[in-house]
């Protein structure tokens, strides 16, 4: 394009110089000179634009070459660096308790922090904590006095699945102690337990699914937790001690709309991360 404009400009300029009107028409000469000046300016502007475009293209090609050569030289692209940060846990990740199991889901991003024993407040006590905890198997002690002093008590937890329907088909769990596993997900920083669902929302990863459990309605209040659908029992822990207890949770119609809920049906749950 630039070469074509240059040739056209040369032709016009030479023609303007060669044209000499016999009658000394100065007005026509001035018009030709003005036209030639405008063509020179157009040519200069076009050359500047072409040069700027070629320079930008060259810069982009250099950047592309650097990105291509970086992995071969032992470097990492931005996306690879981000992935490494996520896997190593630099972004924090998330932690959740897998109730009823001693291991974490088989996921390359999920690791076991520790496995332990489910615990909570004695079901007949009106005070104490209202939540279940995952107690380590090997406690560490500080300043202590042996023997109860009438303060607050931590009890182990048992499955209570003899009343009504047992949603854990094929498993003999009643009065067995409940294990737990604390899991860390390095690459997903948010966690969510959804009651009455078995599938996570789009874009979320399912860690595990199961059934919603808590204390019995006539006992002291506790929290709702998601018990794994294939629960384990703590070895040697089959005895009716009745400490903290886990019961399946049934839908109760009224303010809870039925349908879609169904009176007396055991509620499911799913734990998701993102």
Q: What is the pLDDT of residue 11?
A: 44
Q: What is the pLDDT of residue 178?
A: 95
Q: Is residue 262 part of a domain?
A: yes
Q: Is 109 found in the same domain as 56? A: no
Short-list 271, 117, 266, 118, CA closest to 205: 271
Residue 139 token pair: 């406690």
**Domains: count for the chain:** 2
Q: Is 230 found in the same domain as 113? A: yes
Q: What is the pLDDT of residue 19?
A: 47
Tens of pLDDT, residue by residue over 51-75, are 656 666 665 566 556 545 544 444 4
pLDDT band at 45 (very low <50, low <70, confident <90, very high): low
* pLDDT(6) > 80: no
Structural domain boundaries enclosing 57 = 2-18+29-64
Q: Are strands 225-228 and 191-195 parallel, antiparallel or unpaired?
A: unpaired
Q: What is the pLDDT of residue 88?
A: 44
Judged by average pLDDT, the poorest of 11-15, 138-142, 220-224 is 11-15
Mean pLDDT of 26-50: 67
Judged by average pLDDT, the poorest of 8-12, 44-48, 91-95 is 8-12
Q: If 0-12 CB within 10 Å is exposed, 13-18 middle and 19+ buried, where does residue 215 land?
A: buried
Helix (H, G, I), strand (E, B) or coil at 60: helix
* pLDDT(33) > 90: no
Under DSSP, the state recorded for 115 is: E
Q: Is residue 223 part of a domain?
A: yes
* pLDDT(241) > 60: yes
Helix (H, G, I), strand (E, B) or coil at 197: coil
* pLDDT(30) > 80: no
Compute how many other C-beta atoms are within 10 angstroms of the C-beta atom of residue 271: 25
Q: Is residue 172 part of a domain?
A: yes
The residues, ordered by sequence, that sit 6+ positions from 107 with a Cβ below 8 Å of its Cβ are 185, 205, 207
Cis before 260? omega within 30: yes
Q: Is 107 found in the same domain as 54? A: no
Q: Is residue 115 part of a domain?
A: yes
Q: Is residue 157 part of a domain?
A: yes
Q: What is the pLDDT of residue 130?
A: 86
Short-list 255, 246, 224, 252, CA closest to 167: 246
Mean pLDDT, rounded, of the chain: 78
Length of the chain: 274
User: How many helices (H) and strands (E) would you count in the chain?
Assistant: 3, 10
The residue ranking higher by pLDDT, 29 or 73, is 29
Contact at 8 Å (CB) between 272 and 94?
A: no
């Amino acid at each position: 394009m630039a070469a074509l404009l240059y040739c056209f400009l040369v032709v016009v300029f030479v023609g303007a110089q060669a044209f000499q009107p016999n009658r000394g028409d100065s007005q026509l000469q001035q018009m030709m000179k003005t036209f030639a000046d405008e063509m020179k300016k157009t040519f200069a502007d076009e050359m500047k634009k072409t040069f700027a475009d070629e320079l930008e293209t060259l810069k982009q090609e250099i950047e592309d070459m650097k990105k291509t050569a970086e992995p071969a030289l032992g470097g990492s692209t931005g996306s690879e660096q981000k992935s490494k940060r996520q896997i190593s846990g630099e972004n924090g990740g998330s932690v959740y308790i897998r109730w009823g199991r001693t291991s974490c889901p088989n996921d390359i991003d999920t690791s076991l922090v520790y496995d332990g024993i489910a615990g909570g407040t004695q079901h007949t006590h009106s005070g104490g904590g209202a939540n279940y905890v995952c107690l380590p198997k090997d406690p560490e002690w500080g300043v202590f006095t042996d023997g109860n002093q009438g303060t607050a008590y931590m009890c182990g937890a048992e499955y209570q699945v003899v009343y009504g329907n047992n949603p854990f088909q094929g498993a003999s769990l009643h009065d067995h102690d409940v294990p737990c596993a604390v899991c860390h997900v390095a690459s997903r920083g948010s966690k969510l337990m959804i009651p009455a669902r078995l599938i996570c929302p789009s874009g979320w990863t399912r860690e595990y699914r199961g059934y919603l459990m808590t204390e019995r309605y006539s006992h002291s209040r506790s929290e709702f937790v998601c018990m794994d659908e294939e629960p384990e029992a703590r070895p040697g822990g089959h005895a009716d001690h009745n400490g903290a207890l886990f019961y399946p949770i049934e839908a109760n119609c009224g303010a809870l709309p039925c349908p879609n809920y169904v009176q007396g049906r055991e509620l499911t749950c799913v734990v998701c991360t993102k």
